[in-house]
Each structure stands twice: as C-alpha cells, then as structure tokens.
Amino acid sequence: MKNILAVLLLISLVVAQDSQAPAKLKVFVQGNNATANEIRRELQKATDKPNPKSKFCMALVDNPKDADAIFAVDAVVNGRSGSMASYTSSAQLIASDGKLLWSNSVGDGSKFGDLFAGGNSGISGSRLVMSASKAVCK
C-alpha cells in the first residue's frame, strides 16, 4: 500500500512540474543583419535543446504564418571612422494580433573591420533575446 502511495505521489509531482513549464511562444525572426542572425542562432539552440528547468518560452519557426509573434530586428550604423563602425541594434516582439509585447535597443560599440564586413558582429543578438525572454517568459 505504501509503495502505491509513493508511486502516486511521484506521478503527481512530475505532472505538477510539467504543468509549470511555460508555454512556447512560436517566434519568426524578421531582419537581414548580423543581429537577426544571432537571434536566430540563440532561438534555434533553445528550440533544439530546451532546458526543462529554464523559464525560456520562445521557439523559432521559419514561416511567419506559423508564428505567434514576429521578432523584428534592425541594425543601424551610428558612425564610421576608417575601418571602425559603431552599431545600434533594435528589436520589437510583436504578437500576431499586432500587440507590442516588448522592444529594446542595444549598442554594440565599435568593431574593427565591420566596415568591410558589411554588418555588425551580432553580439547584441544574445542580449536582446535575454531581454525579450525576461519580459515575456513569466
């Protein structure tokens, strides 16, 4: 009898933990720049190898029609000096109904050689994903 009660208790704990996992927000990343590419990589990693203990709730989709939200990303050159370029990356997470869920911008600072590479290094992508995640994954 005690064994049955112990098994039932364990099952109820597992079910309770699964019900606490956040629902996945299917996200399409819109943008053609290094920051958007970094955001895609970060979301793909989280989609491919989800951490059950994490509160991260976004999953990458490759079709905007399948998305619950659009992660719109833009990177702007602030200035150039020789082969140095300074960038600001901005992003918005917009629900399929048009509601703004989150927005933020992050400066990457100066990057040597970015003038020739044609884009920023994507460093701000992971910071924007973390910021969005904190805002929408509760």
Read off the pLDDT of residues 17-71 as tens digits, 9 standing for 90 and up.
444 545 789 999 999 988 899 999 999 998 888 888 888 899 999 999 999 999 9
Q: Where are the beta strands (DSSP E) in 12-68?
A: 25-30, 58-60
84-95 β-sheet, strand order: 58-60, 25-30, 69-81, 84-95, 100-112
Residues 6+ apart with CB under 8 A from 20: none
More confident residue, 105 or 10: 105
Record: fold of 22-136: Double Stranded RNA Binding Domain (3.30.160)
pLDDT of residue 118 exceeding 50, the answer is no
SS3 11: helix
